Amino acid sequence: MSKRGGKIFMVGATGQAKLCRLFLEEQGYKITTVFDQNPAIEKPFPCEIFHDPSELEYRARNCDGFIVCIGGSYGKARAAYSERLQSWGIEPISVKHPTAFLGKTTCTRKGLQMMPHAVANELATIGDWCILNTNCTVDHECEIGNGVHIMGGASVAGLVRIEDFATIGTNATILPRLTIGTGAVVGAGAVVTRDVPAETVVVGVPARPLDK
């Protein structure tokens, strides 16, 4: 991890970025440059901001570390930006709020964003570029893939497998020993009682595929 006081490059300038900035600055980091493709977004806090993707490499290379704050169901974009930045030799930064619980036997990888009161219990595995949002719980022996976003208040029971780029909505519940497929989306408040296939949106109680 980059040394405290190093210059940090951030992708994203809205809610997730504002939270991560606060937590990182409490740890001694400083966000110096922010990229967001939306030209209507103004500078979210004292820093440099730009919107032209052609400048991404030049500006990022002037920083010591990076964090990609793209939430929602944009796990693929979060991973793509992160892998580009890492390929240029810039170090990924993880952020964990002091109130979050990470089990001693839990395995985490690069670019984790763990918000207040999030829980990743013992013997779980958390992949690259994941967001565990406020008050969510990931119970024992879960396997969480890359680019997964578990939103606020969601409850993932033990021995669940969540594959790459899946999104678990706010206050959703996943029952034990189920698999959520790659790119699947579980809607807010849904209760998942059976496996969810890849690239499928499920909603309701019990959760069922959303009619197209």
Looking at residue 118, the DSSP 8-state letter turns out to be -
Q: Is 47 a residue whose pLDDT tops 50?
A: yes
Q: What percent of the chain has pLDDT over 90?
A: 85
Q: What is the pLDDT of residue 46?
A: 87
Tell me if residue 140 is catalytic: yes
- Nearest-angstrom CA–CA distance, 36 and 177: 38
Tell me which H or E stretch contains 186: strand 185-186
* pLDDT tens, residue by residue, 159-171: 999 999 999 999 9
Catalytic-role residue among 97, 117, 140, 149: 140
- Nearest-angstrom CA–CA distance, 8 and 39: 21
Domains 7-93 and 96-202 equal at CATH topology level = no
Angle in degrees, CA 51, 54, 59, rounded to 5: 75
Q: Which residue has the tokens 């497929």?
A: 181
pTM score, two decimals?
0.94
Domain 7-93: top CATH class: alpha beta
Domain ranges of the chain: 7-93, 96-202
Domain 96-202 homologous superfamily, CATH: Hexapeptide repeat proteins (2.160.10.10)
- Nearest-angstrom CA–CA distance, 166 and 148: 5
Average pLDDT rounded to a whole number, residues 9-17:
93
